[in-house]
Amino acid sequence: MLKVKKYGGTSVADKDRIFYCAQKCAEEYRNGHDVIVVLSAMGKMTDELIAQAQTIHSDPSKREMDMLMTVGEQISTALFSMALETMMVPAISLNAFQAGMHATGVYGNARLTEIDTERIEHELSERKVVIVTGFQAVSKYNDYVTLGRGGSDTTAVALAAVFHADECEINTDVDGVYTADPRIVPAARKLEEITYDEMLDLATLGAGVLHNRSVEMAKKYGIKLIVRSSFNTVSGTVVREKSKMEKTLISGVAVDQNADRITVSGMKNEPGSEFRLFRLLADHSVNVDLIIQSVTGEYTKDVSFTIKDEDLEQVLALLRENRETVSYQDIRYNTELAKLSIVGAGMMSNPGVAAKLFECLYNEGINIGMITTSEIRITVMVKESEVVRAANAVHERFHLGEDQ
């Protein structure tokens, strides 16, 4: 079997953690498996590098930031390889140039385009554990580019796809995927299995275990994902297409407290006004999450959308600078909202789920600020101060804490 094993920053944060994870890889190797390891930078390394850059330049070019950041994974892969050497397991670390990881040239937020498999194939054929730097790739100009949030997961899934790995294990600091964030909902229960789509909605909506890009890629290539803890031997959650859980009504409640709502009101009620607004944001690499549009009068319409907290200032500045192009009357924003979503593949064949959710919130006296839905998800925005209470109530109402 070929196994891809990804370890995040907390999993390789220090010498002891590195040895613990290397030991697990050594066991797989000794059991005859081929092993590709994908690593993030150690613990706080990325934060330290950012802080170091900040002492030099308050807003350094993204090109040089990527050049700086990529050292983080190179350090962890070299040290991990040395740890395997102490266990007499042949190993080799490869950075993005060596592993042939190619991507689009968007610094700080690149997308993988192609993987040259030759080098890794060669090292696997020599029966080495191959340790690849996550999060980084090389652009067509031969520059380092980083893959943005969840980048190391993406690296792992992409390698699992091109090498037809039997499984891709995402080792993190939680035991698996839960019906809700246990820090918010104490009654949350670990799921044994979950479908890609459910995972995708949970990831997108802030469950925080896996980034949506890696789940999308896993779905596209049918990669069996295993989300588990690198701190213990608990079995984790399997993410795959044909889940035993598929018929479950609701598989989880997700909360995202890192969302701000912006309303652009009094836009001209004519074709192209949404295009001009969201093209502007896309050109500045702002990720827009939910979008709701309503026509408020014969000649005007309002558009509301949510963005991450950290993008708020940039978005407001962009909108003010481009008032004429976008053509609107007013901007309003609310930073004291949070998103709550319920996700479940069974939802699409079961009417009344939405009504049950709204009733539950009504019983708690919680007002709903915005609603959007997909086939397997219902999202509401509520006051940030009420979202924890809301999540616990919904979790209980849908019996998510009970074995199903």
**Residue numbers at the binding site for a second copy (CB under 8 A):** 15, 18-19, 49, 52-53, 55-57, 60-61, 63-65, 67-68, 70-71, 74-75, 77-79, 81-83, 85-86, 92-93, 95, 97-98, 119, 142-143
Residues 89, 87: Cα–Cα separation, whole Å? 5
Q: What is the DSSP string of 110-158?
A: --EEEE--HHHHHHHHTT-EEEEESSEEE-TTS-EEE--TTHHHHHHHH
Question: What is the smallest separation between the CB atom of 120 and a second copy, expressed in angstroms?
Answer: 12
Residues 164, 3: Cα–Cα separation, whole Å? 9
Question: What is the smallest separation between the CB atom of 217 and a second copy, expressed in angstroms?
Answer: 26
Residues 24, 347: Cα–Cα separation, whole Å? 38
Residues 189, 185: Cα–Cα separation, whole Å? 9
* 5 closest CA partner among 151, 145, 130: 130
Nearer to a second copy, 230 or 251 (CB): 230
3-state secondary structure 74-105: HHHHHHHHHHHHHCCCCEEEECHHHHCEEECC
Nearer to a second copy, 134 or 344 (CB): 134
* 273 closest CA partner among 249, 295, 253: 295
Helix (H) or strand (E) holding 307: strand 300-308
Question: What is the smallest separation between the CB atom of 67 and a second copy, expressed in angstroms?
Answer: 4
Residues 90, 323: Cα–Cα separation, whole Å? 60
Nearer to a second copy, 65 or 227 (CB): 65
Nearer to a second copy, 60 or 182 (CB): 60
Q: How many CB atoms lie within 10 A of CB 59?
A: 8
Question: What is the smallest separation between the CB atom of 199 and a second copy, expressed in angstroms?
Answer: 34
Question: What is the smallest separation between the CB atom of 161 and a second copy, expressed in angstroms?
Answer: 23
Nearer to a second copy, 75 or 371 (CB): 75
Nearer to a second copy, 98 or 229 (CB): 98
Question: What is the smallest separation between the CB atom of 163 and a second copy, expressed in angstroms?
Answer: 19
Nearer to a second copy, 31 or 54 (CB): 54
Question: What is the smallest separation between the CB atom of 100 and a second copy, expressed in angstroms?
Answer: 9
